[in-house]
Amino acid sequence: MQRILITGASGLIGSALLASFDIQVRQRQLEIIRLVRGDAKDATQISWDFRQTLSPDAVSNFDTVIHLAGEGVAGRWTEEKKKSIRDSRVLSTRKLAEALAKSHAKPRAFICASAIGYYGDHGDEIIREESAAGTGFLPEVCREWEAASQIAANAGIRTVNLRTGLVLSEKGGALKPMLTPFKLGLGGRIGSGRQWWSWIHMGDMVGGIHHAINTQSLSGALNMTAPNPVRNAEFTKKFAKVLSRPAILPLPAFALRMIFGKMATEEMFLASERVIPEKLLANGYNFRFPDLEPALENLL
């Protein structure tokens, strides 16, 4: 029986990933253990506090470790919020990677979350895994996040950094706050609308993680985005079309800055990241939803 250890299992991606393992778990082909904050409720959970040292024994004898935990980046980036964003990613990854590196039975693979925020604003440039990191808070956090996972890689564990784009799901994430205004006919492009948005359907997000687990040749940065990114204006137009609503009321950048602050607005909503999943495609992953409109139709 294979064993997988996972953090962030209760999050949007983690929940979908867990559901994808259901058949294997029921057939006793796979055992899933969750690292959880707070007290462990049963034998399928291990309690941990990412601010403290994690015992190497607690993370030994797993085939794969999947690290998805991290505080959401939405909201106004106060100094306290920024510290929570950074610590929940960088510190947790460092503590987990250190424990894995010292474990007596190391996993074959460490699949660690990251984000396309690594790249920052690249305008119209096509971004591949080897593209340079950007400047700003999110690129800085992502660089430190991935550097922390390198502790496991240096110990001989195959390590994959999932540089995830805008994840589309009917259960939450980016689509949820957009639904109400668009259903009311109040949606539209953000700012100029010319910024590239790189997105991925949840089905391909989960499928891509499975591919990363099972493909021994994959390591390092892995862009988790659909192969056809779109400009924000096209994204909002297709979103409105699927909902049979108009998309004629643009959301000015200054309004977002009033809500989220200048830094979060510039890096989250107005940054242009035209990301291509070159390594996934080169390693044989077949996207179920390579194009935006069918992806939105499937979800909505």
| C-alpha to C-alpha distance for 82 and 96, rounded to whole angstroms | 21
Q: Which domains can be identified in the chain, with CATH numbers?
A: 2-233+258-299 (3.40.50.720)
Predicted confidence (pLDDT) per residue in 182-209, tens digit: 888 888 999 999 999 999 999 999 999 9
Give the residue, 112 or 180, on which the prediction is more confident: 112
Pair of tokens at residue 58: 């607690």
Residue 284: name the closest of 217, 198, 220, 231 by CA: 217
Given this model, what pLDDT does residue 11 score? Answer: 95
∠ CA 143-147-148 to the nearest 5 degrees? 120
The answer to which of 98-112, 195-209, 256-270 has the lowest mean pLDDT is: 256-270
pTM, two decimals, is 0.96
Nearest to 249 by CA among 170, 173, 177, 193: 193
Coil, helix or strand for 268?
helix
- What is residue 82's predicted lDDT score, i.e. its pLDDT? 95
